[in-house]
Amino acid sequence: MSDAAPAVLLASIGQRAAARVLDTIVLVAIVLPFVYGTLRDVIDDPEGAVIPLWVNVLLATVSLVYDWGLVWWRGQTLGKMLLKVRVVDVEGGRPGFSRAGIRAAVPTAVQLVPYGVGGILLLVVYLWAVLDPNRQGLHDKAAGTLVVHRVPAGP
């Protein structure tokens, strides 16, 4: 952050994680009606069953549109709204279309890597924030964003 940027209170790792869990519930609720039959078949015959690629692509696409759209529009997904945190650029302003897009594209891209590797990479993207002094995940680093609890009013 620059010296002229307003002071921010970074969101805690717990707030970020809880918001992501809530957003995941929302995403599953959106996608589940479209994939229920396919998933039911996998559950009914778990021996050698594989979740089709189209299910992962659908979930990734819905996730991309959901995260990109809401962060661009409001600076918050539904989970972030409930946890009272928001995404800002490193200067403390709204992230804008491009930053929101990059921030959403990084986890979407890695979750599409096959053979379970994508899931591991997705954890790395999000858990990077645990080690980072600004609590930025790799998607935040790529986009130049922070997740804050609030932005205090100026002087």
The gap from C-alpha 57 to its chain's centroid, in whole angstroms, comes to 16
Closest CA to 33 of 11, 62, 3, 65: 62
The gap from C-alpha 126 to its chain's centroid, in whole angstroms, comes to 8
pLDDT band at 3 (very low <50, low <70, confident <90, very high): very low
Over the stretch 55-81, which tens digit does the pLDDT of each residue have? 889 999 999 999 999 999 999 999 999
Q: What is the pTM of this model?
A: 0.86
SS3 130: helix
DSSP tag of 7: P
**pLDDT value, residue 107:** 96
Closest CA to 126 of 10, 9, 1, 14: 14
7 and 146 Cβ atoms separated by less than 8 Å: no
